Structure 1
Amino acid sequence: MKAKTLPGHGNPIYAVVAHPKLDLFYTAGNDKGIVEWDLISGLHTRVFNDVKTTVYSLTINHELNLLIAGCKDGSICFFDLESGKLTSFTKAGEAIFDLKYIANKKEIIASTDKGEVLILSPLTREIIHKFQSGNDKIRSLAYHEKLNLMVTVSNDEWIRIYALDDYTFVTQFRGHEKGVGSVAFTADGKFLITGGRDAHLKVWDINDWECKYSFAAHLFAIYQIAVHPNLPYFATASRDKSIKIWRTEDFSLYKNLSIDKAKEGHLLSVNDLCWSSDGNKLLSVGDDKMVKIWDFDELDN
């Protein structure tokens, strides 16, 4: 896979999100600014400067043309994507580690430093519901609309399952030693994938929540899992400086994107990654202050 490297930040980058309809994507981190990039040319087109602190997470509500940022100081910032201006912010009180926009519910879910899950209305920008999901950092959230399930994973090592329609508790089970850092459902809804600070990937059957696969996937903590939008693959990002792409059919390794294996990659921890909406590109960001655009072609093996 060929990569294009974009130097556009002055500090570590923690979040990347692709626009679901346009050839644009957004990155943010420790330098108090959100950068808008053109996916095709790789040029940055705008910088949103109305950010007062570190940004840990980003999501987009394209229906309302909103870019939403979760920040270290506990604020959730709403930017108008047409003007690039900060229109409002909601103060949650604790650092916001993950954000997701649920289109069919028209709700935003956010996770905090203290184990709280917040539900916000994108229209009013107000917190309409909140609940405790453990008492430690919730590093990542995932949901599957057809399964009516939402998942939180935490530094306390537990994976907690909730009904998506009303956020009632379903079940919980211990996931990884030293904490769980990332989570995603496979596109077909058959499995839940988790990545831990123990560098392992685990694959859980959603019918009985039994662990079907468990293996050392990286050398250090796994920070993100991104499932391909169309094809049977998923990507993982790790503190070991590598990105790996896996097959969802048998959870075997497809590609290792690192300096050692691919002669191209990040020089420090890879903190976040996402696929473009068409799945043709993989976007990654890291502590090395670099943004990378990887061209994905499953025939190029």
Structure 2
Amino acid sequence: MKSYSKNILCIVSLISTVACSVPDSTPIERKVLSESGVYAADISNDASVAVVSSVNGAVDVWDLEAKEKRFTWRHQGEGLNLVDNVRLSPDNTVAVTSDDEAFALWDMTSGEPLGFWRIDESTIRDVAVSNNGNAIIVGRSNGKVLFFEPYTGRRLEFLGHEEKINSVDISANGRFALTGGNDYRAYLWDTDSGQIIHAFTHPHRVTKVVLDQLSRYVFTADSQDDSQIWDVQSGEPISQLRFIERQIIFTAAEFSEDGKYLLTGSPAKRLILWDVKSGESISEWRVTPNTGPAPQSAVVYAVGFDELQPISISSNGNLAHWKLSQ
């Protein structure tokens, strides 16, 4: 998710020319979640809740069904502390937030913090959390991945990567982790033993990984033009995303519950729905930047499905619902 925040302005300027053929799109519905703009975001699997890290330093929890703010969190107390990453557990019971040096676990029912931990070695690049907060995975810039069980204190370091970690994910039960880094590799590995189950090799640095929570698919994408959907059980490729541009970088991705679709977001305002089996693009939208004080870019930081209706949260601070082409 969300580990592109510091370099996003240069990425946007680099890629903004490749998607000009698709005009800005008008969503079915739009809701402003942050007036100041968004630094990171996540949407629950059932589209009932969103967690948004704002440019002003606050982390807001939104009830999307009631269309109202539920909680406001401060990651490290008072002062401006920008949160790079926010992730909800698949069952919506907890959320994890992180900046460069620390991560925190939050109760989604009470809004209370459940724990706060600092990383002494290297900086945090990405985080993910399993159901009930039983397991947290932390990817770091030194190539190491921390697996941590908050309630038991058990820790495991995965040392399979040789360079900086860019993206991580974890299964709903916390048993399997997916990690990708600058060493051109993504790994699916066992969090009990630390053993690699499948290795996915790319020609360039891996910038995004997503694990389907129903244990069907793995999505891995690199910094150029190789974006693959894989079978979790066999590790074999199912499809490669088909696009004509020289490169597309993904900042968000989510599989639909029925397993037919993959929805992706990019730094260049793009939201694309893909067919999982063929890798073909089905529908595409471009997020319109705000005209007010919020950032004029529209990096798509979170995507999801409200039933089968695509939804997104972008750096402009807006939650948007999109209409599928007939």
TM-score band, normalised by shorter chain: 0.7 to 0.9
Residue identity in the other structure for 1:14: A
C-alpha distance 24-171 of structure 1, shift in aligned 2 (>3 A): closer
Give the number of aligned pairs: 287
Separation in 1, partners of 2:264, 2:177: 20
C-alpha distance 156-66 of structure 1, shift in aligned 2 (>3 A): same
Q: Which moved more, 1:184-193 or 1:218-227?
A: 184-193
C-alpha distance 256-278 of structure 1, shift in aligned 2 (>3 A): closer
Matches within 5 A, 1:107-126: 107-123=135-151, 126=153
Does structure 1 residue 4 correspond to structure 2 residue 30? yes
1:240 Cα deviation from its structure 2 partner: 1.6
Percent identical pairs in the alignment equals: 14
Separation in 1, partners of 2:33, 2:171: 34
Residue identity in the other structure for 1:180: V
Does structure 1 residue 241 correspond to structure 2 residue 269? yes
- RMSD, aligned CA: 3.5
Separation in 1, partners of 2:313, 2:71: 19
C-alpha distance 158-98 of structure 1, shift in aligned 2 (>3 A): same
Separation in 1, partners of 2:272, 2:255: 12
Matches within 5 A, 1:124-163: 126=153, 128-143=155-170, 149-163=176-190
1:196 alignment partner in structure 2: 222
Separation in 2, partners of 1:131, 1:251: 31
Residue identity in the other structure for 1:140: S
1:181 alignment partner in structure 2: 207
Separation in 2, partners of 1:217, 1:43: 40
Q: Secondary structure at the match of 1:215?
A: coil
Separation in 1, partners of 2:92, 2:200: 37
1:54 Cα deviation from its structure 2 partner: 2.2
Matches within 5 A, 1:1-301: 2-18=28-44, 23-51=48-76, 53-61=81-89, 65-72=93-100, 74-93=101-120, 94-103=122-131, 106-123=134-151, 126=153, 128-143=155-170, 149-177=176-204, 179-185=205-211, 189=215, 191-206=217-232, 207=234, 209=236, 212-213=239-240, 215-216=242-243, 219-259=247-287, 268-275=297-304, 278=307, 280=309, 282-286=311-315, 288=316, 290-295=317-322, 301=326
Unaligned runs of 5+ in 1: 261-265
Unaligned runs of 5+ in 2: 1-26, 289-294
Q: Which moved more, 1:195-204 or 1:63-72?
A: 63-72
Q: Secondary structure at the match of 1:54?
A: coil
Separation in 2, partners of 1:176, 1:285: 29
1:30 Cα deviation from its structure 2 partner: 4.1
Q: Deviations over 1:30-77 (max 9, x none)?
A: 4321111121353334321344532222233588943321222x2111
C-alpha distance 65-205 of structure 1, shift in aligned 2 (>3 A): closer
Separation in 1, partners of 2:303, 2:287: 20
C-alpha distance 153-10 of structure 1, shift in aligned 2 (>3 A): same
1:81 Cα deviation from its structure 2 partner: 3.2
Q: Secondary structure at the match of 1:10?
A: coil
Separation in 2, partners of 1:141, 1:2: 31
Higher RCO (C-alpha under 8 Å, 6+ residues apart): 2
- TM-score when normalising by structure 1: 0.78
Separation in 1, partners of 2:190, 2:207: 21
Residue identity in the other structure for 2:85: S
Contact 2:198 2:235 in 1 (8 A): no
1:263 alignment partner in structure 2: none
1:3 Cα deviation from its structure 2 partner: 3.6
Separation in 2, partners of 1:60, 1:236: 18
